[in-house]
Structures are given as structure tokens and as C-alpha cells.
Chain A
């Protein structure tokens, strides 16, 4: 399929530039462009592969990109002016849920097995407890703590990893070393022994497993079923000026997400993404997370988890305010923000459910009745938190104050005074 200058009865296509990072979950942008979902909606997507999230942020801010594949916390950080952000960014839709995993090196895995030979098999909490046991025994022996890699300070990976460790009583700021490693280098960094584990988006976990250097001990869907991951980021001012264009862009990417969620299409998706201008990793490795085939490595049995990465179903594209508020609690929890602000108001300003609803109104795309939901209410329901936690976005500060490990330095009472 090639791009044509004219579609839709001869009207000119509107060009939309988009930045992305080579990860499995850049798929909606790539598929929209490759299979022509953009042209069906009067757009022509021009994709730019980037090497860092900082580049994505800066190039979106200065207008070199109209939109970008972004980590869900990035627009929130931008609105709060954190990490060199200078321009308000919003998310009119989510691009995907889940997709990350925590992988440990073979030496750390062996050490975990010494503490708990069975429990690591289950992933999630049991593995966290085994890591906690290793951390404590290294502390007792006066050895260096393990070092974990993640990809960006304002990333779900950072919060997932910290959340996972904290659930087993490990404080990511004081009990282990936490470093940033760019995703394409992370498997080699693990192999070289410079890190003992990492949390990163697929396919890099599967790459480490395939190279025989890592074992996947927890997936994001085990930490929090159907949890936020990537969003579409656009400049707030640009979205206000281009409401109709934003709506077409949302419809385009929803159509691509729908296509991607069809199991029958995932082989083709893997083949397309494997091209060097996109992810540039072998199609069979990309197919693992796409098809829900979880090869953990080590002695672990192979699992199936259709939710390893979700592109559309179950309101996956809806930018839930409750997701935004949870991410804000983590920014506060780990000391990234101390200045009090109104969480709910910020969620409304950043995760633009109104733009999403407007874009898909009148179509057959299902919409939830509310903009926010309680997360993790039942273990069997999508949205369950691991460790049995629940999260009520209406009581975010109570949730924060009840956490055992919290390195915020933030004054929660001051927060309470600006959150009604």
C-alpha cells in the first residue's frame, strides 16, 4: 500500500508528524500508517523514530512533532513543569495498556531460588518477596545492593518497579540502586553484569530471555491487570486550535488499535514492526508479547497471557482519570513533586476524556459511563492490583498516607488543603 496525495473524494490529506520509540507498543502509530488507517481518516502520518524519551518530549514541545507515543506519566510531568518540561502536553487517548515486564539476571535469579525455590514460578508477588530476601541477605553480609535498570524517571516502568519492590518491603531509593538504561541497550547491560534486573517495555524483556541472560519474573499485567502504559501526547494549545484534526487522529489510532487486538492480525503486526525503521527486532520475538506467549526463561514454564499488551479492548484507549491520579500518587510517593496541587483537576486537564468521547461519539466504539473508576476492586476483575490493593481515586491522599514506604518529603496535609 502506498500513500496517495488524494483520498476522500480528492481532498488533500492533512500531514501529522508523530514521534515514537522502538517498542512493541508503538504499534498503533506504525499500523495506522502502514495499513492506511490514517488515509481513511483524511490524514497522512509521518513517523519519526527517536532514541530517547527526552527527545520525544523536546521535539513535541517545540512543534517538530504534532503528536507522540508517550509514557503515560510524561504529559502529567509536563503539566507540573517537572524534568525540564516547558509546554503543557495533554493525552486525548491511551495507546496501550500493559506491555512491561520485570526481568532479572541469571545470578540474581539463582539467588532468588535459594530463598524460595517454588514461589518464583508464579511471578508477581512471590518473586518480589524472593528479591526482598536477596536484598536483605546482601545487606546482612555487607554486600552491594542489587542494581535495577528502568527507562525514564517519569515512566510507568519506574513506578512499576518501585511498586513491585515496595510491596515486598524493599525501598527502591534506599535498599537498591536504580539507574536509567536506554531500552535497546538494556539486555546487553544485564548481560555485562552492570545491572541485576530491569523493568522495560517489550520486546526487550523477551530479547534478554532469548539471549539466555534473563528471566522474566513479573509482567505488568501481574502487577496490575490492564494498567496504564502509553498515551498519545499532543500540545494542549495545538489541540485547542485543531479540535477536528485531534478527533480524526484519535479515530485513526482507535481503528489501528482495534485491528491490532485481533489475534489473527498479530503475525502481520509483528512482521511490520520487525522492519528496521520501526522496532528492528526479529518478528518471532515481537510476536511473543503480541500473541500473549510468555516465555519467562530459566526453568519457568511457558505461560499464556492474552493481556501482555492490550491495544483496544476493555476501554483500553480511554484516558481514565483514575489512571492519571494513580500516576500522580506515585510521583508524590517517590518525591518527584512536593508542591501541593489538585490531583483530580490535573487529571481532568491532562487525560482528556472529553476529547476522546467527542472523537468516537456516534461510532460503535464503546464508552464507559464515567471518567474514573476504582482500580483493583476485585482480584478477578480487570484492574486488579497485585498484593490485593485497591485504589479509589476519590481517596488518593488516604491511599498515599497508608503506604508503608513513601519517600515523598511532601506534606500530605498541604495536599489535603488543595484537594477537596
Chain B
């Protein structure tokens, strides 16, 4: 699916401080044929930027506190050349929900037709989801790594203080976790924290 010539000229401003996500969205929009995309990572002079760029669509991630700056801008028409209003269509609640759930909000210039905006929103929402999945996977890997480290540390403590081998130490952690209905890593963390406390 590629944007028509007239749609490729829709001026899109993407505001996102996360460099990886910014790149993912930007390439998605470029692949879909949207050529007039400006990205902004620093929101210090947001109003000036918007005034100069005069965008048709503003996309902003929900982690950005400058969303409230946009809300005010669209209240007072004298700072923007055109009144930028509302979501695509008030009646299309599912579209708003999909965007908010994905972590992005879109501000569309008044008068821009819904069908011209939909591909932009759909693309953005799906790329935000892709990024969220990526981040979740990364978090999982990180936490698995952290768990492994803490279990190693707890095993070491047990081996030293109780004079047992590594397998026995792991078995002890596993049994304790089972009897307490906890994760092995949590039992290990508790042990490490207690030992740290005793040291101080």
C-alpha cells in the first residue's frame, strides 16, 4: 500500500524522544510513501516548530509531557495559522482507543479527510505495537539475565555458608521456592538481600 501523490504531500510531524521508536515510525511512514515527514526529538521550542512547519498531522508518543502543550495550542488559534482540531473523527472511538493503547496520540488538522489520515494512523499504531513488542522482549531478556545472576549469587552464598555443592544449593533454592509458592529468583533475591543486610 502506497500513498497517492496528493497524500504523500501530507505534512506529518512526529514528536518522539525515543530514537529507536522514532526510526521505526519514520521508516514505516517513508515505506508507505509519505514524503513530508519531519521528526522532532526535542520539545523545548515546540510551538515555534509547529508554527514554522504548519503540519497537517502531528503524532506524539504518550510518554511525552508536551502533549499538554499541544492541547493548549489547539485551544488558542492565534498561535497557529490553522486551527488544528480533534482526533480524526469523534465517532470513530475504536481508532482513538487503538492509538491510545499503542501509546500514541494524533492531532489532525481540521478539514483533512478521514480516509486520507487512516493509513497514517494505522501505520503508526502498528509500528508502535511492533516497538512495544520489541521492548517487552528486551525487558524479558534483561530480567532473565538478572534472575540468572541473582540465582548464581544465592547459590554461591549457600555453597559457602552450608558447605554444599552447586547442585545441592540449587535444589535447596528450588524446594524453598516451591514450598513458599514463589519464583526461584525471588527466593534468591531475598537471600541475597538478607545477607547484604547482615553484612552492614
Contacts and interface: CB of A to CB of B under 8 A. Distances in A.
Given A84-B87, A179-B72, A336-B75, A55 B67 contact: yes
- The secondary-structure label for the interface of chain A is loop
A71 B70 CA distance: 17
Contacts of B75: 83, 153, 336
Interface of A: 51-55, 58-59, 62, 64, 83-84, 86, 151-153, 178-185, 194, 336
Contact of A51 (B47, B65, B73, B97): B65
Interface in B54-78: 62-76
B67 A54 contact: yes
A54 B75 CA distance: 13
A182 B96 contact: no
B65 A64 contact: no
A330 to B, nearest CB: 14
B87 A62 contact: no
Given A54-B67, A62-B100, A151-B68, 16 more contacts: A52-B67, A55-B62, A58-B96, A58-B100, A58-B105, A59-B100, A62-B97, A64-B101, A83-B74, A86-B90, A86-B96, A152-B72, A180-B71, A180-B72, A184-B65, A185-B65
Nearest to A87: B93
A52 B72 contact: no
18 contacts: A51-B62, A51-B64, A52-B62, A52-B65, A54-B67, A54-B68, A54-B105, A58-B62, A58-B105, A84-B86, A84-B87, A152-B72, A179-B72, A180-B72, A180-B73, A181-B69, A182-B68, A185-B65
A182 to B, nearest CB: 3
Interface string B117-138: 0000000000000000000000
A182 B43 CA distance: 11
A118 B126 CA distance: 60
Nearest to A57: B71
A59 B67 CA distance: 14
Contacts of A180: 68-69, 71-73
A153 B72 contact: yes
Interface residues of B, number: 26
Contacts of B65: 51-52, 182-185
A64 B100 contact: yes
B96 A179 contact: no
A376 to B, nearest CB: 28
A62 B96 contact: yes
Instruction: Determine which residue in A64, A180, A185, A194 has the highest number of CB atoms from chain B within 10 A of its CB, and name it.
Output: A180
Contacts of B90: 86
Instruction: Determine which residue in A83, A84, A184, A185 has the highest number of CB atoms from chain B within 10 A of its CB, and name it.
Output: A84
Interface of B: 44, 47, 62-76, 86-87, 90, 93, 96-97, 100-101, 105
B100 A153 contact: no
A182 B62 CA distance: 13
Closest 3 CB pairs of A and B: A182-B65, A180-B72, A52-B67
A84 B44 CA distance: 24
A51 B71 contact: no
A184 B73 CA distance: 19
Contact of B71 (A54, A59, A184): A54
Contacts of A153: 71-72, 75
Contacts of B87: 84, 86
B64 A52 contact: yes
Nearest to B98: A62
A51 B103 CA distance: 12
Nearest to A180: B72
Contacts of A62: 96-97, 100-101
B137 to A, nearest CB: 22
B105 A179 contact: no
A143 to B, nearest CB: 20
A54 B65 CA distance: 9
Contacts of B105: 54, 58
A183 B65 CA distance: 9
Contacts of B63: 51
B71 A152 contact: yes
A194 B74 CA distance: 20
Given A64-B101, A84-B86, A336-B75, A152 B93 contact: no
Instruction: Determine which residue in B44, B64, B68 has the highest number of CB atoms from chain A within 10 A of its CB, and name it.
Output: B68
A152 B100 contact: no
Nearest to B72: A180
A327 to B, nearest CB: 16
Contact of A52 (B68, B73, B86, B101): B68
B71 A83 contact: yes
A151 B76 CA distance: 14
B85 to A, nearest CB: 8
Instruction: Determine which residue in A54, A59, A86, A182 has the highest number of CB atoms from chain B within 10 A of its CB, and name it.
Output: A54
A52 B62 CA distance: 8
Contacts of A178: 76
Contacts of B76: 178
Contacts of A58: 62, 96, 100, 105
B69 to A, nearest CB: 5
Given A54-B105, A336-B75, A152 B96 contact: no
Contacts of B64: 51-52
B124 to A, nearest CB: 15
Contacts of B44: 194
B158 to A, nearest CB: 26
A58 B107 CA distance: 13
B193 to A, nearest CB: 15
